Every structure is written in structure tokens, then in C-alpha cells.
Amino acid sequence: MPADYDPKAFYDGLVRHGLIVPVGVPGAFGRGAVFEDVLERFNTLVSQLARDDGAEVFTFPPVISRDVLEKVKYLESFPHQCGAIYSFFGKEAQAKALAARVNEGKPWGDLLGITDVVMNPAACYPVYPSFSGTLPEGGRLVSMLNWVYRHEPSAEPTRMQSFRVREFVRAGTPQQVLAWRDLWLQRGLVLLTSLGLPARSEVAADPFFGRGGKLLAVSQKEQQLKFEVQVPVVSAEEPTAVCSFNFHQEHFGATFGIRTADGRTASTACLGFGLERIVMALFKTHGFEPGKWPAEVRRRLWP
């Protein structure tokens, strides 16, 4: 594998080796069996790291309540990434009009109405409402593997509209939550470097919308609320974020009425492994054929 970085060549290589399957929309390709095998094996390594942490395991669908998106003020920060779900609420006559518009190749979105669900934009969002009330003494820890949606169609293969995140959410006192986040930042780096990936951690910011968003990003960086682990996949200068570690302070605790055992507003943190991006980092670093990967990497993934 040459050490140059070319998003198009990398995408074409993934397709040529049957690792991803184009579906005609940028950022929404299918995944082949070998791609999925690597993804599941990496996810298993994460589970092994978390084995003794006592996390509750939740599974959520790829949609969440629109109410949650509104409560966390997602549209103030990330209106450009939102995926609201619209459906048809009309009667017979409107249905005919809708079909006619579609058949004529005309726009038809205005004949739909907003539903109560939206595509889930962050793997951890569905869990916070379930924490409302008083936490047990040691706080809570949840593990999830969720599909998330971001409206950012791109030909660049690591920028997907829909992807999976292996996510953990911790709620408790600020000390509990921060110690846990720092532990995982170390664990994440060790795990990725053990797979031969040139991973490094950086203070980071979320892609807030607009001019006001630039200020939010500066403040987020100053307070070191977000760290990412990055690996070069499509660019040497701008490595791809493959894990993120986020301290939300009391944001979700206050929004959803989550309290610690001693009655204070709870702090929360989450961390997520971007599973497709990690798999792509492995293919970029070690080549498109896992049979030819370095022996020590193969031993980790296929023990």
C-alpha cells in the first residue's frame, strides 16, 4: 500500500476489493463480508477491554424521539447535519397528487409532514432520557452499538451519512466521569496502536454551525471538553477522527433531570469508536487484503 493519501483512489480500492458496495448515494455504501468481519472483530476487542467495567448493554433503533433532538438544542448547533423524518399524512386525493408529482419527476417534499422521530445523530442521545431521576451511588455506565446519521454527503469515504459507533456513556459526579474518560482515552490509544495504527490524541471541537459556532468551538477546546484519537486515512495533514471522548459537564444532567445519589445535577461523558472509520484506517495502513496484514495485527483480530 503506497503511503500517499488520495480519497478517490482509496474509495475505488475499497470498492475493487469488495469491501464496500456503492448504492448511488455518497456516504451511504453497503459493506462486504470481509469489511464486516474486521468491524465485528474490532468491536469484540473493545468489549474485552470493557469486560470488568460492569456496563449495562442497551440497543436502540437508528431513530430517536424528535423531542430529544429539540430538548438538547441540536438544531441550534448542528442544523446542517439534522435528519428529520417526514411522512405522508394525507387522504386519497393528496396521495394521487403525491404519486403524480413523483411520476412527473417534480419535487414532492412539501406534500409530506414531519413525524415524531428523527434519525439519531449521536450514538449516546437516546440514553440520557432513560437516566432521568436519581443515579445509584456509583453512577451509571451504558454500552451501545448504534447507527447514527449525519447529513453530510461526501465522496470522501470516511465521511459517511450513516455509520456505526460503539459508544459508552458514563453518568455520575464530575470526578467519576472524568476519571473514566481519561482511562478510556489511554485504553483507546493503546488498543489502536496495538493494531499497528499510527494513532494520536488531540483536543478537538464539534462542527458547530455558522459564525457563532466558531466561538463555541474555541470555548470547547479551551475547556478541553472533547478529545479525539486520530489516524491518517485520506490525508496526512488532516488525520481522520476515529474515536471521540466528550465531557458534557451538566448539560444532559440538567436537560433530563439526572441527579447523583447526593442530590446534585449529574455530569455525563461519552466516548465512541467510529467503527467504519477504524476499519478503513486498518485497510489504509495495512492494505486491502487482511490475509497480508502483519502477523501481530492478525493475531489480535483473529486470535
The residues binding Zn ion (CB under 5 A) are 124, 270
Judge contact between 269 and 247, C-beta under 8 A: yes
* Shortest reach from residue 270's CB to Zn ion, in Å: 3
* Shortest reach from residue 167's CB to Zn ion, in Å: 6
List CB contacts of 78: < 8 A, sequence separation 6 or more.
121, 206, 207, 208, 209
- Amino acid present at 87: S
Q: Among residues 49 and 301, whose Cβ is nearest to Zn ion?
A: 49
Q: Among residues 41 and 187, whose Cβ is nearest to Zn ion?
A: 187
Q: Among residues 113 and 207, whose Cβ is nearest to Zn ion?
A: 207
Q: How many residues does the chain have?
A: 303
* Shortest reach from residue 216's CB to Zn ion, in Å: 17
Residue 287's H or E segment, with its range, is none
* Shortest reach from residue 59's CB to Zn ion, in Å: 16
DSSP secondary structure letters along 191-203: HHHHTT---EEEE
Q: Among residues 6 and 56, whose Cβ is nearest to Zn ion?
A: 56
Q: Beta strands 84-87 and 113-119: pairing type? A: antiparallel
* Shortest reach from residue 178's CB to Zn ion, in Å: 15
Separation between Cα atoms, residue 294 and residue 117, nearest integer Å: 45
Q: Among residues 14 and 145, whose Cβ is nearest to Zn ion?
A: 145
**Among residues 180, 188, 293, which one has the least CA distance to residue 231?**
188
